[in-house]
Structure 1
């Protein structure tokens, strides 16, 4: 999609200028749909990469999908979108078990998945990188650019302008937008609207959503490498756990297209993450490493051990509809939190948001 390669609009439609704030799955799905319909879209993302929680942390031992671990495909529109990147997404035979006690003992045998688990290759962020590439090539993707405030355009009060801050460019105002989409975690969207004193109907809807944090531990054991050496610990590759600290564990090296060095991603439970949200990272790492040893039986010291804190991770109370849109002010919000916390729900939310505007 080059700058002048947008699809033609119906004669009855007008080409609109639209700001999408956030480049996670919902934001990119929304932006690419609007751009393909012929609208002029600019995406603002405060991070260095697109993806949101569809993220991959690189290390000298290989990558870690330290946010979203996999996704499922139920919606035909999502399936059709994935068909645009043939070969990039592959099934993961996770061999998932359910751990039912504090000592990590497996009470149930391997659980056959009810549906396929899919992962992009070589990392979870590869899918949105590919989908966002046309936007980046057209100069419509502004990374490391945080939106600080929304306000009416001073020259054209019916339009919006955004105050942003980014490296090099510093503070800047982007103006002339007909519509604004907040494709952010619900607490961040609410905070931006509140500080901007805009979008009261949206704030009322967003206040009903509840989202939990998540501490994530990433471990690498380079002394164990597949297939030349048997992996460490259990014979399963992923587990849902009821350990009081850990909710999920996955052997990253079991995923297709990944480095063979033994690596684990460990995600803490929502309750434990909330209680320890502001703890020192080293203290969190020590506690989660101890829990990992209890669950897996792996007692070898990992040469690589780091933690990452997601302040807004798992939706506890969703909005209950695909998006929220204030047609009067021309501001909308979307994200996986609208329907739940699955990748596909984020995609559907962004798509429906775009359709509401277009």
Structure 2
């Protein structure tokens, strides 16, 4: 490492940033992992309400990559992840049907606990808002060997100096959709026997999950995710959309009793609308700027982990080769 440079700065402690930083640390490369939020996790967000966690971002994870399967098995062995279901319900114009698919995995303590487990030995600085990434590269004026932006492209674009042409082009090519997540607590469990439901061709709802079943504690809690179109009209005041979300869930499931609207969470950049970068799982340019996240692949937890892992390995190879 050059004497006047501070290793690699990774901005964003979601699963992509944590996976990237882990590869670097294991290779002995100094890392500064910076997160603007108070906690690790990114869009694998869990928040506690009355002492109980609820997942507000990703609803579950699926696995078909052998390397990621090994990570998930580690979580299972630690008691952090469990197989949830391979069957959800699909509601649509033709009615209600079962939708089988891959095994969905859930986390009893919330999906955020999985990212925290991966980050347990990493140097994460929370409440650290990065303002600029400039040529050099420099992150808020700090010279470093490389800078990684592990975040949605529109957020990364706000940080990048226009002189970083390749990185700017990479993130400006990303397209993202928004969503709102509503957490509803009912007096009792009165809905049909289901674990979760895809809601197709609905003006408001896209997915409803039984959080009590997902968590394994049987709590009468549903988590509803909205369509991008509905969310787009309520990003400035998400809480105001709560009553409409609550009514839509009750209408869908035929629930007579009103729910307590516990929380509405705004996701301006909920998931990539389309994959970017072709077959690439990350972006890394000659300026020393890396971009990682699930925009490089299907919008899945596995894609974000693989993107960060692959970028971390590419940086290790580049930086170690430069020191020989």
Normalised to the residue count of structure 2, the TM-score between the two structures is 0.89
Q: Tell me which residue corresponds to 2:157.
A: 190
- Which of 87, 96, 99 lines up with 1:107 in the alignment? 96
Between structure 1 and structure 2, the one with the greater Rg is 1
- Kindly provide the CA deviation profile for residues 240-263 of structure 1, in whole angstroms up to 9, marking residues without a partner as x: 00221000000100024x443210
Q: Structure 2: which 5+ runs fail to align?
A: 317-324
Does the aligned pair in 2 maintain the 1:61–1:261 contact within 8 Å? no
Find out whether 1:276 has 2:234 as its counterpart: yes
Does the aligned pair in 2 maintain the 1:71–1:117 contact within 8 Å? yes
Find out whether 1:161 has 2:128 as its counterpart: no
Distance apart, 1:304 and its partner CA: 4.0
State the secondary structure of the residue aligned to 1:54. coil
- Which of 212, 223, 233 lines up with 1:265 in the alignment? 223
Q: Tell me which residue corresponds to 1:237.
A: 195
Q: Tell me which residue corresponds to 2:45.
A: 55
Q: Tell me which residue corresponds to 1:325.
A: 284
Q: Tell me which residue corresponds to 2:64.
A: 74
Does the aligned pair in 1 maintain the 2:162–2:168 contact within 8 Å? no
Q: Equivalents in 2 of 1:341, 1:293: separation in Å?
A: 28
State the secondary structure of the residue aligned to 2:119. helix
State the secondary structure of the residue aligned to 1:68. coil
Q: Structure 1: which 5+ runs fail to align?
A: 1-14, 153-158, 164-172, 225-230
Does the aligned pair in 2 maintain the 1:190–1:203 contact within 8 Å? yes
Distance apart, 1:237 and its partner CA: 1.8
Q: Equivalents in 2 of 1:355, 1:235: separation in Å?
A: 45
Distance apart, 1:211 and its partner CA: 0.5
Aligned residue pair count: 308
Q: CA RMSD in A?
A: 2.0
Q: Equivalents in 2 of 1:282, 1:312: separation in Å?
A: 17
Q: 1:303 to 1:272 in 2, by over 3 A?
A: closer
Q: Extract structure 1 runs of 4+ deviating beyond 4 A.
A: none
Q: Tell me which residue corresponds to 2:170.
A: 205
Q: Equivalents in 2 of 1:18, 1:354: separation in Å?
A: 10
State the secondary structure of the residue aligned to 1:99. strand
Distance apart, 1:176 and its partner CA: 3.7
Q: Tell me which residue corresponds to 2:298.
A: 340
Q: Tell me which residue corresponds to 2:132.
A: 149
